[in-house]
Amino acid sequence: MIKLPGLIDPHVHLREPGQTHKEDWDTGTSAALAGGVTMLLTMPNTKPPIFDAATLDLALDAAHPKAHCDYAQFLGAGPDNTDWDEHSGLPQRAAGLKMYLDSTFGQLRLDDMTLWQEHFKTWPGELPIVAHSESRSMAAIILMAAIYNRPVHIAHISLKEEVLLIKAARERGIKVTCEVCPHHLFLSKEDIPAISHGHPGRGEVRPRLATKEDVEALWANLDSIDCFATDHAPHTLAEKDGENPPPGFPGLETMLPLLLTAVDAGRLTLDDLILRMVTNPRRIFNLPEQPETWVEVDENTTYELHAADMHSRCGWTPFEGWKVKGQVTRVVLRGSESFKDGKILVEPGYGKNVRE
């Protein structure tokens, strides 16, 4: 048995408000605990999107009675909320500012770079900015970070060119950090037929699954990657298998076993894992310590991943049937036994908003 600190997932979609048939704060935070995640940061592209005091209250009022683990909620950068100086105290209540600069699920995409500049000018300097930016738009947002001399965190990188650009930017002192998702480390576009089972929508995710060369480049440049994050993005199988399937994979319950399997295979160490799932997320997003919090893992248990055993409401996983080694057996959160042997033991509402 090994004992890990409580893990932090800085990139999660819980679909509440607006689409709780996919997931809500109850099922999503249950999935988090089952995956060893004791704190998560949720994204703002809900319905309605979270971009002002009223919509932030909507999300937090939903979370308060339901969340099983600790959390914070991002605000979204839109075309009409660029003057954060007008919203006294609002940024401090959020996990950070999320900027969508490429194809996304929701209504928050920003195509006009003058809007990017306005957000960079007025968002408080001590609070994080996270960008969904791919390839050339990623290069552009790194330029913004250099011009305004403030940090930017790049979400879910997936390409060789992206990790090499981030590496070069950091060597020149530009304040850029980044994360990678397990599905971009363990799957390539060549795996889409295997995970789709005749339904191509099951392979839809943003950023898209890349080439094997891109996957290997991510592994080869892990030193330039600060965080592991799931981008847990649940949709039902009916939606994934229908017309116009929405992009996204669930991931909260598969991230740790996949990475522990990589540790067993010698591709990672436990220290690498803790650095990217505890130490760096806490530093980058200015998150509090969680006292008396840990995760117990049986590192020798070998088993198969099956959606039927998971807590997420969406009911599927792209890793169905994968053999993994390393299973979460028990989670203690702030002194309370929260998860043990497959069961959630803390009541809804035990989770705390870490920005309060």
SS3 244: coil
Token reading at 235: 């949709």
Domain 2-300 belongs to what topology?
TIM Barrel (3.20.20)
Q: How far is Cα 231 from Cα 330, in angstroms, rounded to an integer?
A: 23
What is the value of pTM for the model shown?
Answer: 0.97
Q: How far is Cα 180 from Cα 227, in angstroms, rounded to an integer?
A: 6
> What pLDDT digit, counting tens, does each position of 172-230 carry?
999 999 999 999 999 999 999 999 999 999 999 999 999 999 999 999 999 999 999 99
| Share in percent of the chain as helix, strand, coil (round to 5) | 35, 20, 45
- State yes or no: pLDDT of 153 exceeds 60: yes
> What pLDDT digit, counting tens, does each position of 238-284 carry?
999 999 999 999 999 999 999 999 999 999 999 999 999 999 999 99
- State yes or no: pLDDT of 116 exceeds 70: yes
Output the CA torsion sign for 158, 164, 165, 166. Answer: positive
Contact 123, 97 (CB under 8 A): yes
What pLDDT score does 105 carry? 56
Contact 23, 13 (CB under 8 A): yes
Q: How far is Cα 105 from Cα 118, in angstroms, rounded to an integer?
A: 23
Rounded mean pLDDT, 96-123: 86
What pLDDT score does 27 carry? 98
Q: What mean pLDDT is reported for the chain?
A: 96
What pLDDT score does 111 carry? 81
> What pLDDT digit, counting tens, does each position of 282-292 carry?
999 999 999 99
Token reading at 249: 């994979």
Closest listed residue to residue 180, CA positions, set 149, 146, 153, 202: 153
Percent of the chain with pLDDT over 90: 95
Q: Torsion over CA of 28, 31, 32 and 35, rounded to 10 degrees?
A: -160
> What pLDDT digit, counting tens, does each position of 298-339 carry?
999 999 999 999 999 999 999 999 999 999 999 999 999 999
